[in-house]
Amino acid sequence: MVPSTPSLRAARAVVRHTGARLLPVDDRLPDRIDGAVLLVDHTPSEELLAELAAALPRLEALVVWCPGWTEADVVASFGRHGLEHGTVEIVADGALSVLVATEQAAAALGPALAVPEREFRALAVMPAFNEADVIFHSIGALVAEGVDVYLIDHESTDGTADAALPWLGRGLVHIERFPDDCGFDERNRHEMVWRDILTRVQDVTGEIAADWYLFVNADEFREAPWPGVTLGEALREVDELGYSAVNFELFDFRPTDDRFRPGTDPRLSLRHYEPPGRHDLLQIKAWKAQQRPVDLVHHGGHDVLFEGKRVCPVPFILRHYPIRSSEHGRRKVLAERLPRFAAEERADGWHVQYDRYADGVDYLHDIATLSEWDGDRARAQLLARTVRRLLLGICLTGADPVGEEVQLDRLNGWMSRRGTVDSSGADLRQAQQRLAVVAGGERVQPDPVLDRVVGDLALALEVNAVLRGDVRLSVTLGDARASLAQAA
């Protein structure tokens, strides 16, 4: 598995801070770069460097990795083109530069780059057949969200693998040719045998090491339910809370006109969606790495099965763009899907998602029957509905956290999963003493390692205080956390 490079880690940090799109750069500038973070993980030519310098005012940031360069090389070469705002770091036998247009932008970006990256890897396994029109953006979205991608190209004839190539080594860890590269039955050359594809997805998750895995399709965009949090960060948080699987709430986006152009981001032109059909309500497609193989096949890829599964009660977001225009719909449904589905799987009730379409049907939808996408509103509704269900669940089960004290073993378990303390709890005892001092208003000398433990301890006790209705204590603990953060 290709490891994360210094340039990719830096680019992801900028994306986390800004929410901008991430675009890779090879020999020339990509299209539609306004507001993007550009990733240049090779030494640029003088011609490309001049183009990058001219484009910088239109960008959120420019991340450049020059193998073998020194800081003096960066200053001399970049200085000739007026690239002077940002940071330069010598790492892994090369120079890593994060450049922005102004001194103010550089100052604002500095804290984001200084935050240490937690050791956590999420890997999405993506089978695809003839998805060249969207796969660049679907892979790019996952990479920007802190998730690596393994692509299984299933005999595509439209250049799907070529469209994905710009991401190879930049979050896309491998492009597999299915079935040639993995020894599956020859019928997979001309049929879509979904059980075989799902089995191969299972196999990949046993072959390549990661902390969490996702099963994704090339026409999907996955997002965290919390605003300002990347998908990778959200999976890490779910893992820290002790859950081992995630369900996704599906939003099916439909074309209302033929504005979509192949190669563009479908999220820009397809803005209206409808709820999923009953066959798509179950979407448990992200899971924590297991010691034994998981089972994706039993439920047709809709629900991963393994012993001891704990599904996070907060669903994540899945934006689905199966049909992008009337022409695309006719080709995909009538030529690329219905004739290729394995007959025995159709007999088992699988592959019903396109039964609503038939030859002559208008693939464009009436906009009046759809909802317009608003990410903030969708998240607010999802989280509000989840909270109400959790409150009802507490009422019905009696598992009421109100009035309960923090359990030391659970606190230590949570902080251990976060990497804040070791399993002995020794750091936790020291942190309790330091928190009492800081909460009392006294100033202390910064200690980055211990203060991270203190910050987590204060957060846990603050949440508990809120649940118990002790507003004064929650404010005091919040102030203590803020004081430690300011001192750092």
pLDDT in tens, 321-369: 999 999 999 999 999 999 999 999 999 999 988 888 866 678 999 999 9
In a domain, 394, yes or no: no
Same domain, 95 and 36: yes
**Portion of the chain with pLDDT greater than 90, in percent:** 74
Helices (H), 115-167: 135-144, 160-164
Q: Is the dihedral of CA 136, 140, 141, 142 positive or negative?
A: positive
Asked if residues 401 and 394 have their Cβ atoms less than 8 Å apart, the reply is yes
Q: Tell me how far apart the alpha carbons of residues 411 and 428 are, in angstroms, rounded to a whole number.
A: 9
Helices (H), 360-447: 375-397, 408-417, 426-439
Same domain, 155 and 190: yes
- Other beta carbons within 10 Å of 372: 9
In a domain, 1, yes or no: no
Instruction: Give the Cα-Cα-Cα angle 459, 463, 465 (nearest 5 degrees).
Output: 115
Same domain, 37 and 72: yes
* Tens digits of residue pLDDT in 121-154: 999 999 999 999 999 999 999 999 999 999 999 9
Query: What would the two tokens of residue 385 be?
Result: 């509905």
Q: Tell me how far apart the alpha carbons of residues 199 and 9 are, in angstroms, rounded to a whole number.
A: 31
Same domain, 49 and 85: yes
Last residue of a domain, one of 370, 385, 400: 385
Q: Which of 50-59, 143-152, 389-398 has the lowest mean pLDDT?
A: 389-398
Same domain, 47 and 183: no
Residue 2 has pLDDT above 60, yes or no: no
* Tens digits of residue pLDDT in 23-37: 999 999 998 999 999
Asked if residues 59 and 33 have their Cβ atoms less than 8 Å apart, the reply is yes
DSSP 133: T
Same domain, 346 and 319: yes
The pLDDT score that the predictor gives to residue 423 is 61
Q: Which of 51-60, 145-154, 204-213, 451-460 has the lowest mean pLDDT?
A: 451-460
Query: What would the two tokens of residue 484 be?
Result: 């430690």
**Portion of the chain with pLDDT greater than 70, in percent:** 97
* Tens digits of residue pLDDT in 291-307: 999 999 999 999 999 99
The pLDDT score that the predictor gives to residue 231 is 98
Query: What would the two tokens of residue 172 be?
Result: 């896309």
Residue span of the structural domain in which 192 resides: 122-385
Residues in the chain: 488
Query: What would the two tokens of residue 332 be?
Result: 């995909």
The pLDDT score that the predictor gives to residue 1 is 46
Q: Strands, E, within 6-142: which ranges?
A: 22-24, 37-40, 61-67, 85-90, 94-100, 122-128
Per the structure, the count of domains in the chain is 3
Distances (CA, A) of 161 to 106, 179, 253, 270, 324: 37, 14, 24, 24, 19
> Is 239 buried (19+), middle (13-18) or exposed (0-12) by CB count in 10 A?
buried
pTM for the whole structure: 0.92
The mean per-residue pLDDT over the stretch 447-464 comes to 90
Same domain, 343 and 361: yes
Residue 260 has pLDDT above 50, yes or no: yes
The pLDDT score that the predictor gives to residue 81 is 94
In a domain, 144, yes or no: yes
The pLDDT score that the predictor gives to residue 467 is 81
Same domain, 108 and 127: no
Q: Is the dihedral of CA 212, 217, 218, 223 positive or negative?
A: negative
> Is 395 buried (19+), middle (13-18) or exposed (0-12) by CB count in 10 A?
exposed
Same domain, 379 and 424: no
Asked if residues 214 and 222 have their Cβ atoms less than 8 Å apart, the reply is yes
Contacts (Cβ under 8 Å, ≥6 apart) of 129: 153, 154, 155, 156, 160, 192, 336, 340
DSSP 312: -
Q: Tell me how far apart the alpha carbons of residues 150 and 208 are, in angstroms, rounded to a whole number.
A: 9
CATH number of the domain that 135 lies in?
3.90.550
Same domain, 89 and 183: no
- Tell me whether strands 172-178 and 147-154 are parallel, antiparallel or unpaired: parallel
Last residue of a domain, one of 331, 354, 385: 385
In a domain, 51, yes or no: yes
Q: Tell me how far apart the alpha carbons of residues 432 and 421 are, in angstroms, rounded to a whole number.
A: 12
Same domain, 323 and 259: yes
Distances (CA, A) of 89 to 9, 28, 38, 97: 13, 24, 17, 6
Instruction: Give the Cα-Cα-Cα angle 23, 323, 189 (nearest 5 degrees).
Output: 85
Residue 70 has pLDDT above 80, yes or no: yes
Q: Tell me how far apart the alpha carbons of residues 356 and 177 are, in angstroms, rounded to a whole number.
A: 31
In a domain, 320, yes or no: yes
Q: Tell me how far apart the alpha carbons of residues 101 and 96 are, in angstroms, rounded to a whole number.
A: 17
Last residue of a domain, one of 114, 140, 166: 114
Tell me the average pLDDT of the chain.
92
**Among 205, 176, 206, residue whose Cα is nearest residue 188:** 176
